[in-house]
Structure 1
Amino acid sequence: MTPEIMWKLLEIILIISLLIPIAATLVWVERRMIGIWQDRHGPNRVGPFGILQSLADLLKILGKEDWIPPFSDRLVFVLAPVIGAVCVLMSFAVIPFTADIGVSDLNIGLLFFLAMASLAVYSVVLAGWASNSKYALLGGMRAAAQTVSYEVFMGLSVMGVVLLTGTFNLRDIVLAQTDGWLIQSQFVGFSVFLIAGIAESHRLPFDLPEAETELTGGFHTEYSGLKFALFFLGEYLSVTLISAMSVVLFFGGWLMPAPLDTWLPPLVWFILKVLFFVFFFILLRTSLPRPRFDQLLAFGWQVMLPIALLNLLVTAALRLGGVL
């Protein structure tokens, strides 16, 4: 085995070993931030500032009975949460954390990310179908309609970035922002991408596939133990993934304008930018009400689609005219 392959394997193991604890930590961060936002304590019993609450929750959920309903399709029921977690983890393979840190430097990195986002919908659809439960099936159908719809707008929103940089390679897209971040010319595309990302990750206010007041728990109603933990892991990793992609595509990745670029290492700047968007995702949960499902789809097809197409058309015209 060559040193290069060994280094890549070490890089993969290191990134995965960091991502899973990050997802658990985000649970504590979310509860703590929402507590502050709503003028209450949040976790404050287990460990200093309740920081060990996530560990206690993890031990509890792993200690629960890993039950499989006798009326379910056993094989599909077990595979569904695995598919979701694997798709999200695979997406991190193309994220360039710095100029030198990143698992894969694919020429089609952006397309790979969109492909993994598309495959992740199979997880919730199969979970809803295999559970053989009305609530789970309704949640799975909602997830399919919501995810497939907003994938269209997500794909269109990043085409402006491709037009301006001339590449699908995420590292090259970051390097193309050396003279200025793409948020300056692609604010509309970024807005569409962020909204689509919220819908893709099933986060509030777009968590309709698992709306507790309507569907008990949606597609994961019948899940418990480790399999439920995999769904939980996938959701919080999706938040981190959308935040990282927003930074890479529109906010210069690890790059910072002078003299800020000399203040901290590139990896630290990248992490700080990602954390900003993660906090935005969390505080969004406390700020907006949940719409009806028909309103969500109508907003997508009647508002988001025309805006995404218009942004692409204007970007192409300005690019052709030499303005951008």
Structure 2
Amino acid sequence: MATWVELLLRVGGVVVAFLTLPLLVGQTEHKVMAHMQARMGPMYAGGFHGWAQLVADGIKFVQKEDVTPRAADGPVFRLAPMVALLPYMLVLLVIPLGPGDLVAQSLDVGLVFALAVLGIGVIAVLMSAWASANKYSLLGGLRGAAQLMAYELPLVLSAASVAMAAGSLSLQVIVEKWQPWWLIWQAPAMVIFFIAAIAEIRRPPFDMPIADSELVFGFMTEYTGLRFAFYLLAEFAGIVVISALTAVLFLGGWHGPNADALGWLWMLLKTYAVAFLVIWLRVAYPRLREDQLQRLCWQILVPLALAQLVLTVGVRLALN
């Protein structure tokens, strides 16, 4: 019975984190973009600096009419937003928050599990694109599928570099074996992983599957109400997940002063810092064209990721 109680507490903690951290990132995005663009941003909902704006947005989405296009494939159309949310919740189960047992589910192949589950996102994009019976949605879905399948390669290769350096596929072991000097020789892998991860969650400047100036709103064009809110929540949850993975793989996770007691705090701070950088890129860089997006992947990121793997092998052999 104690084991079941512990499991429920761990899963409950992940659910709470899944429901709160994306909202914090969303509110931060509102305020960060407002300051970077010299405007105030949301100021009224909740009183103090509009802290409850996302809550008000959620209530608004719940009240909106749920519309399914007449020509749409109803079951697939309605299921797609939930499929978009599920991978990020599953990945949070294996991300260690601190030393010891501060992880919902410890896996010896946690890195493989996380990267494999993140790939499910392309299924949700294709489901919504095809089921919407809309040409703009279909074009956005095809763009999204091409983008996600392309950037999975540099994402996996850069993560493999860290796993090779640590000699393990366990996220806990990778953090435990992390050394500050990894920030130097694993820096290229970190940059590649970060860029590829942003493309995986379709955040600007890699938001070609949405491209509102060209495709209305891409694969999300026909969605309204709560289902549209699920897609927005999935976007913010994706920011949390890739920021946490970047912190675990490249920034030492819970490592910091007094890590035994405050490791969870260092992990959250590093995750929040990476999330801030994701938001900053949205404001600072324009959207890439489709050909630029693919060229960046195949001509720059993939060769650099392979070169980083060779470097990691060389360093491992030299140390041994």
Quickly name the TM-score band, shorter chain normalised: over 0.9
Unaligned 5+ runs, structure 2 = none
Q: What secondary structure sits across from 2:253 in the alignment? A: coil
Residue 50 of structure 2 aligns with which residue? 50
Residue 140 of structure 2 aligns with which residue? 139
Separation in 2, partners of 1:156, 1:235: 23
Q: What secondary structure sits across from 1:208 in the alignment? A: coil
The correspondence of residues 31-180 of structure 1 with structure 2, limited to 5 A, is: 31-46=30-45, 47-99=47-99, 100-177=101-178, 179-180=179-180
Separation in 2, partners of 1:315, 1:293: 32
Quote the offset at 1:4 in angstroms: 2.0
Structure 1 letter corresponding to 2:116: A
Quote the offset at 1:184 in angstroms: 2.6
Quote the offset at 1:108 in angstroms: 0.7
Check if 1:288 corresponds to 2:288: no
Q: How many residues align?
A: 318
Quote the offset at 1:53 in angstroms: 1.2
Residue 275 of structure 1 aligns with which residue? 272
Q: Do the aligned partners of residues 282 and 173 (structure 1) sit closer, same or farther apart at CA in structure 2, a change above 3 Å counting? A: same
Q: Deviations over 1:64-106 (max 9, x none)?
A: 0111111001111111111110111111111000122111110
Separation in 1, partners of 2:19, 2:172: 24
Are the counterparts in 2 of residues 181 and 250 from structure 1 also a CA contact under 8 Å? no
Separation in 2, partners of 1:66, 1:22: 26
Quote the offset at 1:266 in angstroms: 1.0
Give TM-score scaled by structure 2 length: 0.96
Residue 266 of structure 1 aligns with which residue? 263
The correspondence of residues 225-240 of structure 1 with structure 2, limited to 5 A, is: 225-240=225-240
Q: Name the stretch that deviates more: 124-133 or 22-31.
A: 22-31
Quote the offset at 1:173 in angstroms: 0.5
Separation in 1, partners of 2:255, 2:56: 38
Give TM-score scaled by structure 1 length: 0.95
Q: What secondary structure sits across from 2:114 in the alignment? A: helix
The correspondence of residues 194-233 of structure 1 with structure 2, limited to 5 A, is: 194-233=194-233
Q: Do the aligned partners of residues 283 and 79 (structure 1) sit closer, same or farther apart at CA in structure 2, a change above 3 Å counting? A: same
Quote the offset at 1:180 in angstroms: 2.9
Unaligned 5+ runs, structure 1 = none
Quote the offset at 1:15 in angstroms: 1.9
Separation in 2, partners of 1:263, 1:32: 33
Structure 1 vs Structure 2: percent identity of aligned residues? 36
Paired residue for 1:316, among 306, 313, 318? 313
Question: What RMSD, in angstroms, separates the aligned Cα atoms of the two structures?
Answer: 1.4
Q: Do the aligned partners of residues 181 and 272 (structure 1) sit closer, same or farther apart at CA in structure 2, a change above 3 Å counting? A: farther
Are the counterparts in 1 of residues 80 and 125 from structure 2 also a CA contact under 8 Å? yes
Quote the offset at 1:130 in angstroms: 0.6
Q: What secondary structure sits across from 2:319 in the alignment? A: coil
